[in-house]
A and B are shown apart, each in its own frame.
Chain A
């Protein structure tokens, strides 16, 4: 079953009098529990597509259907509701609230979802435990390492039990060892039945996915299934 059904969308920005076609004509369908990497050089429309998929922005033309709801026609408040309930974001720069501790950062989406304090706390603690940070819940972001910060961000993305996890260059600000750990975490999250969309320009990161969508000049250049080399790798790592 399709979670994401994008049909012929375009995004046109007006810069002065000039029209910039960030996306020209993009159609893509993503199923539940898929693990998709979106790739492309800068200027390919990759970020624009991610913003639209993440309901941060709406397309100028075309249809975007998210889990049976027509997102392309929604207003700001409805988009906020979709983002809150259906989408978990993981950013390159982590984007945690610097003055709040890990627990509060993870609780935040649940606050906006209107959950009671006790339930919020319980679920936030559970999510932090899932990413292996149960003993760091009262640390502020500046008291955590880069990898730990990204784990907090992943816990925040997972805590609402969203339909998709949208990760934008999640290892871009991390060293390769920590980056590999984070990717392993994503693999595990995927194996638990989650849908993951990964935006990256690194081949070796994209290879963790089962499917790679390549963009060029606002169009889909290539959309292919890849062999599950990563599964093996992570299995090998576990056996080591």
Chain B
């Protein structure tokens, strides 16, 4: 055993000498592995980043929330035609639910539309507008950077007030002095009472609170459509995550009563929750992960073939050297270990460089608000992958070297 370790150490030293002697070739060979490891690590880091972005994005909705809705978030629960034929959820339904529900911390109705916002010469087109009541902020994890959310008086009075998401506010008021200014929505003036803190949940797309303006729900109906125009969503916040199930049970009971459903009728509403959303996200991220690892794995595979190729050339070129080593007493397994460790070292060096590039590129990605940092497991992954690749791709050439006939090898010119 001791002797074997010793041989391995000598094999490593010999390999280092050989690599140094063929610098350019080693660098070119390593390039395949550099790119392969770079791709694998960057991809796994990016996927992790996407996952984290989704998780934080979703949790910015509030983790203890339920959404009573005509539509289900997951189309596979109920056939779409059934969803479509459901009665709209109205403000009346909301008021009844609110009066009867004992458990929730806060409840608020909400509906959405898209409008263009203007302030002087600044225009934000087709902005997502959430219309709701003053209680809405208590159903979310949102905080105000400036000003306040609209109050009960403004909400009940359908006043012309608006709360802006951080992105919208930045676009309309680059200097950050939006409070008390009047923005125009479809020709109607709305006074800005508050600006929300940035959440950075860009993965949420339309649901990103940064890209949203909030109006009293009555004001939306007053100016942009009547109450029966669309179905509303009832946002329900449970006091804590342990209570979510109970709040859901209560909501189902109340809503069935409100919607006058008979004992045998199915629910004509859906109760959506974040845990279901997270499950869906996990599934999608899982698919991305498999696809990503497969594609980047191909890059690494090409790199490995490059290593194998160049090791075969190296073995052929060094036939005489192998003959000399064998003549003076190198055993087959020593030669095998020498060439395998040579391939492994080339791969490991390439892996380290690839890892360095991956760290740099993830830092660049982070500059563009992409949550991405190279984790310890990615480093370990890179090291293991590169050593493994080296051993696998070095084996066949090393085996040919080990099996050479010393007489033939010494005669080789």
Contact = CB atoms under 8 A, between A and B. Distances in A.
A99 B329 contact: no
A160 B328 CA distance: 10
Contact of B325 (A108, A113, A114, A160): A108
B327 A97 contact: no
A6 B272 CA distance: 92
Interface in A59-98: 76-77, 80-81, 83-85, 89, 91, 95-97
Interface in B295-327: 320-321, 323-327
Given A76-B332, A111-B10, A95 B320 contact: yes
B364 interface: no
A156 B324 CA distance: 11
A122 B321 CA distance: 24
Contact of B17 (A77, A84, A99): A99
9 contacts: A77-B333, A80-B331, A89-B327, A89-B328, A108-B325, A109-B328, A112-B328, A112-B329, A112-B331
A171 to B, nearest CB: 18
Contacts of B3: 114
A109 B410 contact: no
A156 B18 CA distance: 20
B324 to A, nearest CB: 5
Contact of A108 (B7, B21, B328, B333): B328
Interface residues on B, range: 20 to 34
B6 A114 contact: yes
A51 interface: yes
B194 interface: no
A126 interface: no
A77 B332 contact: yes
Contacts of B410: 56, 91, 95
A84 B329 contact: yes
Interface of B: 3, 6-7, 10, 17-18, 21, 320-321, 323-334, 405-407, 410
Nearest to B333: A77
B328 A51 contact: no
B334 A112 contact: yes
Contacts of A91: 410
Contact of B327 (A95, A100, A111): A95
Given A77-B332, A112-B331, 19 more contacts: A51-B407, A56-B326, A56-B410, A57-B405, A76-B332, A80-B330, A80-B331, A83-B328, A84-B329, A89-B327, A89-B328, A95-B320, A95-B323, A99-B18, A99-B21, A100-B17, A112-B329, A112-B334, A114-B6
A187 to B, nearest CB: 23
A100 B18 CA distance: 10
A111 B332 CA distance: 14
Given A57-B407, A95-B320, A112-B334, A81 B6 contact: no
Interface string A10-52: 0000000000000000000000000000000000000000010
A97 B329 contact: no
A97 B6 contact: no
Contacts of B330: 80, 84, 112
Given A95-B320, A108-B325, A80 B332 contact: yes
Contacts of B326: 56, 80, 83
A200 B321 CA distance: 24
> Which of A57, A77, A99 has the most chain B CB atoms closer than 10 A to its own CB?
A99
Contacts, number: 61
Interface residues of A, number: 26
A91 B327 CA distance: 11
A181 to B, nearest CB: 23
Nearest to A79: B406
A111 B323 CA distance: 16
Interface in A96-145: 96-97, 99-100, 108-109, 111-114
A96 B324 CA distance: 8
Contacts of A83: 326-329
A97 B324 CA distance: 8
> Which of B327, B328, B334, B405 has the most chain A CB atoms closer than 10 A to its own CB?
B328
Contacts of B21: 99
> Which of A80, A95, A97 has the most chain B CB atoms closer than 10 A to its own CB?
A80
Contacts of A112: 325, 328-331, 334
A99 B331 CA distance: 21
B329 A113 contact: yes
A56 B330 CA distance: 12
A179 to B, nearest CB: 21
Nearest to B413: A93
Contacts of B321: 97
B14 to A, nearest CB: 8
B17 to A, nearest CB: 6
B329 A95 contact: no
Contact of B329 (A51, A57, A81): A81
Nearest to A54: B327
B39 to A, nearest CB: 34
Contacts of A84: 328-330
Nearest to B334: A112
Contacts of A111: 10
A139 to B, nearest CB: 16
Nearest to A81: B329
Contacts of A109: 328-329
B289 to A, nearest CB: 45
Interface string A149-172: 000000010001000000000000
A5 B363 CA distance: 72
Contacts of B405: 57
A95 B411 CA distance: 10
> Which of B3, B17, B407 has the most chain A CB atoms closer than 10 A to its own CB?
B407
Nearest 8 Cβ contacts at the A-B interface: A84-B329, A112-B329, A109-B328, A80-B331, A99-B21, A95-B324, A56-B406, A83-B329
Nearest to B403: A76
